[in-house]
Amino acid sequence: MKKSTNKHTSIILVLSFLLSILKICTAIGTINTTQFLRDGDTLVSSGGVFELGFFSPGNSKNRYVGIWYKKIPGNTVVWVANKEIPLTSTLGILKVIEPGVLALLNDTNNILWSSNTSTVARNPILQLLDSGNLVLREATDDNPENFLWQSFDYLSDTTLPSTKFGWNYVTGRENYLSSWKTNEDPSPGNFTFHLDPTGYPQGIIKSGNLTLCRIGPCLSGIPNARQDPTYRYGLFMSKNKKYYWEEAIDKSVISRVTLSQSGVVQRRTWVDRIQDWIVYLNIPADICDSYKICGAYGRCNIGNSPACGCLNKFVPKDPEGWVRSDWSNGCIRRTPLNCQKGDVFLKYSGIKLPDSRYSSWINESMTLEECEVAYVFKELLLYGIHTIRYQQKGEWMLILVWRLG
């Protein structure tokens, strides 16, 4: 009887030791090809900022693999792996398969979802970073340029600081947001948020192929975007890539950008005092953010009634429709353009820049003064809209110049 007790004690000690190993692996946020995550296990980033595991959204009984904030109550999910192919039981397993593929297996040991990577690694590991990025990499190589795969390249409905939002022409991939279908279903819903790379890149909210809202070049449709002290952002453009990037200035501020199920892009910030997320920004904010709401040569001011009006020296093209609040036909010149009789270029401030998808060329080197001398009296009168970036006081700016009557 005594020997039996000792035997049972040994088994308990071995099980405790194995469990402690699993906890250590979870704490450091990595697993290799000899380890795996079952439903109930989690992977935690080294600083305890983010956690990866299995979850069921809302009242759904389906199971998904996702990432959420570790220290914020309520499981705010920022990324979902198998968003279109849910598990139907709690017997799923997430593991790294040689030579370097992340795979989610169901209860029949079939691969339900995978990273579909083709690069071969000698010792691949899965790591959850404090940025919220889940990366598959060679154990001895933590250079981001050499990652085998990363979740930041496959967004769901959320972007985090350090995410690159846009296009990689080498891989042919676009990184964009898709709204959830419902609170219980994270598969792609009716709305998407893209960086449109044509002309000068700008953010576009779409429903299918229909453009609903554009943010404008250089985020010109977001009031005081450059004055936020908590983060900085920029646009990177090269032959191979075009993307918006964002970086947190104040690391203590927890912020995320999401695309809601109703097609609204929102920046949310966590407030410890009230233990809740507050909406910092909504796009569209009002009717003036609706695409082409005032038509050509129209301008929108939510403080006016009606909200739509015409630019200086323009009149409604359809006066009767204008009275009925149908501004879609826009405005036309009151009199034909005649630069020899006093017509000049007019300056407008505090408005969203024109749709840069139709700009004809971009010049990153000339100053505003050089632009005026070289272009205003020549090309602009012939070709209309042009996009020009200029440098003023060490900062790159953007000016869209177009003909006014």
How far is 287 from 285, CA to CA, in rounded Å?
7
pLDDT at 18 over 70: no
**Interval 269-321: pLDDT, tens:** 999 999 999 998 899 999 999 999 999 999 999 889 899 999 988 999 999 99
* pLDDT score for 200: 86
Highest mean pLDDT out of 102-111, 299-308, 366-375: 102-111
* pLDDT score for 358: 75
Which pLDDT band holds residue 330 (cuts at 50, 70, 90)?
very high
**Interval 37-77: pLDDT, tens:** 999 999 999 999 999 999 999 999 999 999 999 999 989 99
* pLDDT score for 32: 95
Overall average pLDDT of the 370-385 stretch: 51
pLDDT at 19 over 70: no
**Interval 199-225: pLDDT, tens:** 889 999 999 999 999 998 877 787 666
Q: Is the dihedral of CA 26, 31, 36, 39 positive or negative?
A: positive
* pLDDT score for 324: 92
Overall average pLDDT of the 242-264 stretch: 92
Helix, strand, coil % over all residues of the chain, rounded to 5: 15, 40, 45
Which pLDDT band holds residue 267 (cuts at 50, 70, 90)?
very high
**Interval 109-145: pLDDT, tens:** 999 999 988 888 999 999 999 999 999 999 999 999 9
Measured torsion, CA atoms of residues 8, 9, 11, 16, in degrees rounded to the nearest 10: 140
How far is 67 from 75, CA to CA, in rounded Å?
9
* pLDDT score for 397: 40
Average pLDDT, the chain: 84
How far is 42 from 27, CA to CA, in rounded Å?
9
